Amino acid sequence: MSHEKTRAAAFPVDRNDAELIRGAHPPHWRNPDPTGPYNLVVIGAGPAGLTAAREAASLGAKVALIERSLIGGVCINVGCIPSKAVIRTARLYADMRDAGNFGGDTPKHVRVDFQRAMTRMRQIRQRISRADSAESLASGGIDLYFGEARFSGPDSILAAGQTLHFRKALVATGAHARLPTIPGLTEAGYLSNETMFDLAECPRRLLVIGGGQLGCEMAQAFCLFGANVILAQRDPMFLPGEERDAAQILSDALAREGVEVRLNTEVVAVRTVGGKKLADLVRDEETTTISVDEIVTGIGRSPNVDGLDLENAGVVYDANGVKVDDYLRTTNPRIYAAGDVCLEHKFTHTAEATARIVVRNALFFGRGKLSELVVPWCTYTDPEIAHVGLYPTEARQNGVPVKTYTVLMHDVARALTDGEEEGFVKIHVREGSDRILGATVVAAHAGEMINAVSLAIRSGMGLHALADVIHPFPMQAQGIKMAADAYRRTRLTSFWKQLAGRWLAWSRR
Ligand SMILES: Cc1cc2nc3c(=O)[nH]c(=O)nc-3n(C[C@H](O)[C@H](O)[C@H](O)COP(=O)(O)OP(=O)(O)OC[C@H]3O[C@@H](n4cnc5c(N)ncnc54)[C@H](O)[C@@H]3O)c2cc1C
């Protein structure tokens, strides 16, 4: 049984968690008695399931929502929210140590209070989870069931001993941390996102396995809390998939802050000696052994498909999750899927966006398509790395010629005033046009900045139009406008330049 399934039992760590459970899985909750078929039965109350259930119910559908653990899913309980809250406090400590660079005095003793940081995280998590408490869902007209759901037929689901019949169903069961197959790791013990936010003390020495988003975010945060962090990544770069120079800036930032960066490195064995975890790391056939207090794994996420008896409903799935078509319909036309259980890009915003498509397609003859979504994403390190649309390599593979407009953040006034000048804005257009193919932003507020480009792509605006947008001055998003200005300057052809020059010469007479 995965830890995630048992979280309701594993909590509470403190009174914030106790409060959270009262809202997200009330101990004495009485499941409703099902009456007649539902328009929509949703399995999983994470971002995808909650969005679908709320939206369908608000449109008058008879909706059931089944959750085996805590309402809010990974995002609120063991994902986005706790990680971002912890990162914020870690940054505070980084800023304190950096006070000298801002004309301030660095405090003599920056004492890290890890427990207070974790308490703050729990307070925030509890506050955010209130919005989707069991009570509020029920009062929103949703039949909420707690229990493990599984399909008993093509139009029925079994949950907590009751059979729920449906016209349409949504599988929104999310994903769980993938465990690396490293001999000795399970015996030695490890942390994943499902357990690391329960830590009472900051480990002195920490090995993070995996240099994807989770690994990089957590390695940086724990390093800023004062842990001695070793980040091991099998690939030659962090954030595989991102543009190389973006990943390089992150790699340099991590190293500068004190993370021991081990690229091209595989963790091949773990064992415990005298209370310490010893890990064997191999690079270029050379083995080194390190001793750490804790090991965090962040090598990816696997869809939650086990135990759903999808075979009973004729729903096809594999190791990548439930198979869906572009309309998010599974191989059973009554059943749809949304979120991490079926998507390659496992994010809260994609979970919510796909859930909205499902409600329209499943209940109202909609024809919303997954392929039409414009999906940005962001890695919340310092600097942040955000991306939307195509990467230049993808475009070229599809035979699309690419022209890139680049602005370095050290040329953006606000980045300088704020001492956040690392990074760049890169906007890729189809060569010979202003059609935006994609963009990567590496900056302190890249996640906010990328939204202008997402909006432009979504609404079919070209880069030319972004040059017309007036920004309050000074803003870091000016980097986007500067890239658009660079494009516009290329449109000033020599013919128009000559004409303008002649006109101005004439008007001086
Ligand atoms: C550490 C970490 C940080 C993250 N940070 C970000 C971020 O900053 N931004 C971002 O966009 N994304 C982030 N993510 C990803 C984000 O959390 C997920 O993409 C999102 O939660 C997916 O939503 P979902 O509804 O598809 O699934 P989940 O949130 O996984 O919810 C699925 C729900 O289904 C329930 N369930 C599963 N099986 C059954 C069953 N058989 N019966 C009943 N219930 C069941 C589960 O208990 C769970 O509550 C992060 C993830 C992690 C791990």
Residue 491: predicted pLDDT = 83
501 lies in a domain?
no
- Cα 76 to Cα 475: distance, rounded to the nearest angstrom: 30
Do 318 and 229 share a structural domain?
Answer: no
309 φ, ψ to 5°?
Answer: 50, 50
What's the order of all strands across the beta sheet hosting 286-292?
A: 266-273, 276-283, 286-292
| pLDDT tens, residue by residue, 167-177 | 999 999 999 99
Name the residue with the closest Cα to ligand 1, atom 1: 79
The count of other CB atoms within 10 Å of the CB of residue 474 is 14
Do 391 and 316 share a structural domain?
Answer: no
Do 416 and 456 share a structural domain?
Answer: yes
Do 171 and 316 share a structural domain?
Answer: yes
103 among annotated binding-site residues: no
Q: Which atom of ligand 1 is nearest to the CA of 348?
A: 11
Residue 10: predicted pLDDT = 57
258 among annotated binding-site residues: no
500 lies in a domain?
no
147 lies in a domain?
yes
80 among annotated binding-site residues: no
Do 368 and 292 share a structural domain?
Answer: no
Do 281 and 310 share a structural domain?
Answer: no
Beta bridge partners of 220: none
Residue type, 461: M
- Mutate which of 7, 80, 191 for ligand 1 pocket (most atoms within 8 A of beta carbon): 80
Name the residue with the closest Cα to ligand 1, atom 17: 75
16 lies in a domain?
yes
Residue type, 301: R
Domain boundary among 321, 337, 372: 372
275 lies in a domain?
yes
Domain boundary among 254, 270, 299: 299
Distance 430 CA to ligand 1 centre (A): 35
Structure-token pair, residue 477: 């998003």
Do 306 and 282 share a structural domain?
Answer: no
214 among annotated binding-site residues: yes
CB 262 within 8 A of CB 276: no
Q: Whole domain around residue 114: which residue ranges?
A: 8-176+302-372
Do 328 and 199 share a structural domain?
Answer: no
Do 157 and 38 share a structural domain?
Answer: yes
The domain spanning residue 57 has which CATH number?
3.50.50.60
Q: Is 358 left (phi over 0), alpha (psi -120 to 50) or beta?
A: alpha
Distance 60 CA to ligand 1 centre (A): 26
The domain spanning residue 392 has which CATH number?
3.30.390.30
Residue 495: predicted pLDDT = 73
Do 283 and 191 share a structural domain?
Answer: yes
220 lies in a domain?
yes
Q: Which atom of ligand 1 is nearest to the CA of 44?
A: 34
24 lies in a domain?
yes
Beta bridge partners of 404: 428
- Into how many domains does the chain fold? 3
Domain boundary among 243, 272, 299: 299
Residue 8: predicted pLDDT = 52
Distance 116 CA to ligand 1 centre (A): 26
Q: With a cut of 50, which residues of the chain have pLDDT below it?
A: 1-6, 9
Residue type, 447: G
Name the residue with the closest Cα to ligand 1, atom 45: 44
Close Cβ partners of 27 (under 8 Å, ≥ 6 residues apart): 21
Name the residue with the closest Cα to ligand 1, atom 49: 73
Do 128 and 191 share a structural domain?
Answer: no
63 lies in a domain?
yes
Which amino acids bring their CB within 6 angstroms of ligand 1?
43-49, 66-69, 73-75, 79-80, 83-84, 148-149, 172-175, 193, 214, 304, 307-308, 339-340, 346-349, 351, 380
Residue 11: predicted pLDDT = 61
Do 109 and 46 share a structural domain?
Answer: yes
Q: Tell me if the bond preceding 183 is cis, omega within 30° of 0.
A: no
- Cα 169 to Cα 435: distance, rounded to the nearest angstrom: 38
Beta bridge partners of 438: 389, 428
